[in-house]
Chains A and B, each alone.
Chain A
Amino acid sequence: MGLEYVKISPGFEKYMPRDYVDLVTFGQFGKQVDVMQLGQFKELVEEHPMCAGCYMAYFIRVFYAALPNPEDTIVLGTAGCARLALSQAAVPFIYGNYGDTNAVASGLKRALSIRFPDKVKDVVVIAGDGGLMDIGFGMTMHSWFRREKFTTIMVDNEVYGNTGGQESGMSPKGIQLKMAPKGKQFDKINAVELAQTAGCVYVARISPTNPKRIAKVIRRAILAAREFGPTFIHAYTSCNIEYSIPTREVLADARAREKKDFKFYEWMTDEVKEYLEEIERKEKEKAKQEVQK
């Protein structure tokens, strides 16, 4: 899109919907918001039909607040619950056939770098466990083998949530689901290890218990992808419907899983580490100077 495209032409403010005017006036275009300011600025994502208490929806909310450059970002999604919110945000969203996100993102990122050689355009895939690790598995893996420079975020609810509870490769062994009544026979796929082996330069596993940390990981993954290659975030985002979690307990469940099998994990190559540390050091200095002013 670009910043100029987002702004309202002078004189047209009164004809634009209120939510759009708020977005341009009190939103995050053209500035870097701190995720801790949530609830005090107009968010990029709007009302959407994901279920009450869905922590995939929560993760998506934090994702948009964390974008380093929303006006120059394109998000790709696929069939599954996440697209219900991704399609309601003020960031261009591409939706293809089920599981094709990483093939489409590869072509898109390459085309953008040819069309806009002097600009940074971020491409981010957000898709479910079924989309990335089952049906789109080949496309996910090959985008990593080819070292495509975009970020893949797997919102893992350990089930096909959108179609009523079939098991996925990411469902835990033994789990009984509506459409897996005998219990899953195989282990949960180790996605983080696969990503590392396949060539991702930055990999993280996270449970959504700490918005500041989610934002940091998302930012790091996007910045690293610009320069070095594929980056991957494996996020636990429970499905309270298929796993029968009372909505009031959804955050408690995320905290419990963080202690068990979703311990925070972050890995990156040495050159990515050096690059990110340099950027973060400069940002800290700038913030310090601003406080002194």
Chain B
Amino acid sequence: MYFVAEVNEKECAKYNCKQCVLFCPEPNCLNYKESDHTAWVWYDRCKGCEICVYVCSDLLKRHCIEMVMVKTGD
């Protein structure tokens, strides 16, 4: 089990934003789907640092990212 970020895509799509993607320290981890205007997390690459949560919740007050526990293979 490990701790990763998960984007609530339905909420995120409301904003056309992308800010969290630009501040994640990991490459190709927090990505952006232009067609749906949503950020999405590649779980295997996420280290659970919560910098994206700081950006989305603390700075922007949008609250679209949650930290969740996943199992290998999820």
Contacts and interface: CB of A to CB of B under 8 A. Distances in A.
Interface of A: 35-36, 38-40, 42-43, 45-47, 50-55, 57-58, 61, 64, 211, 247-252
Q: Which 3 A-B pairs have the closest CB atoms?
A: A53-B49, A52-B47, A39-B21
B29 to A, nearest CB: 8
Interface residues of B, number: 24
Interface of B: 18, 21-28, 30-32, 34, 39, 45, 47-51, 53-55, 58
18 contacts: A35-B22, A36-B18, A39-B18, A39-B22, A39-B30, A39-B31, A39-B32, A42-B28, A47-B27, A47-B45, A50-B25, A52-B49, A54-B25, A55-B25, A58-B23, A248-B54, A250-B51, A250-B54
Nearest to B45: A47
A251 B60 CA distance: 13
A55 B45 CA distance: 16
A45 B27 contact: yes
Nearest to B48: A52
Contacts of A38: 21-22
Contacts of B58: 248, 252
Contacts of A40: 31-32, 34
Contact of B55 (A61, A64, A247, A251): A251
Contacts of A57: 25-26
Given A38-B21, A58-B23, A252-B54, A247 B49 contact: yes
A248 B26 contact: no
Contacts of A251: 23, 51, 54-55
A61 B51 contact: no
B51 A43 contact: no
A64 B27 CA distance: 10
B23 A211 contact: yes
B31 A47 contact: no
A256 to B, nearest CB: 13
Given A36-B22, A52-B47, A211-B22, A61 B54 contact: no
A247 B51 contact: yes
Q: Among A35, A42, A251, which residue has the most Cβ atoms of chain B within 10 A?
A: A251
A205 B41 CA distance: 32
